[in-house]
Amino acid sequence: MSRIDRRRPSPYDSAAMLAPLPDQIEVERAVATGREYSGQLPLERLARLQGMLHDSQGQVAYTLRFGRTVIGQPMVEVEADTALPLLCQSSLERFELPVAVRTRLGLISREEDESGLPEGYEPCLMQQGLVDPLALIEDELILTVPVIARNPALASSEREQEAPVEVEAKPNPFAALAALKRK
């Protein structure tokens, strides 16, 4: 017979700090409590990203972890995993590009504060102490979209099909001039 743990979760349990994604996040409160937002959202909710995709079918699994940098500045770790539906520019067929984003953003209130961020942190400008979590995720995904989308599976199969090109050695047309110059 198995025992069931019926205790109430402690506010210090990491699972108790998970919360649904709000429209705006008050940075100082999220940092002070070590707030973590985790879940999934449909690609169709990312309006700016949609214009770069073939269609908006799919989900993004995300995690946002708030905390402080080693020098005490507010920060957020952004993780996002998805498969972006793109149009291959070689075959003109839809393919899904797997994407895994892992980045650390230093939350700053003025652009001048950017130079004070520790190494490994990208700057993210807060507006009146608030950030838009959807925009954080969307911005990071936009950066992963290739300028020219090509299906990696297609590219590797094309390389395998290409036969090595044999080039005949032709005489150098300037060899005669070099011989005259030596005389």
| Mean pLDDT, each 10-residue run in order, the chain (183 residues) | 41 47 94 94 94 94 95 94 94 94 94 89 93 95 94 66 55 66 67
Read off the tokens for 164. Answer: 């090595």
Dihedral over Cα of 80, 85, 88, 94: its sign? positive
Q: What pLDDT was estimated at residue 69? A: 92
d(CA 55, CA 40): 18
pLDDT in tens, 105-155: 999 999 988 888 999 999 999 999 999 999 999 999 999 999 999 998 886
In the chain the first and final C-alpha atoms are separated, in Å, by 103
Q: Which residues of 24-44 are buried (b: 16+ CB within 10 A; e: fewer)?
A: ebebeebbeeebbbbeebebe
**Beta strand 59-68 with 18-19: parallel, antiparallel or unpaired?**
unpaired
CA angle (111, 129, 143) in 5-degree steps: 55
Residue 151 Ramachandran class (φ > 0 left, ψ -120 to 50 alpha, else beta): beta
- Quick one: DSSP state of residue 45? G
Q: What pLDDT was estimated at residue 80? A: 96
Asked if residues 68 and 107 have their Cβ atoms less than 8 Å apart, the reply is: no
Read off the tokens for 3. Answer: 């025992």
pTM of full prediction above 0.95: no
Read off the tokens for 147. Answer: 């300028």
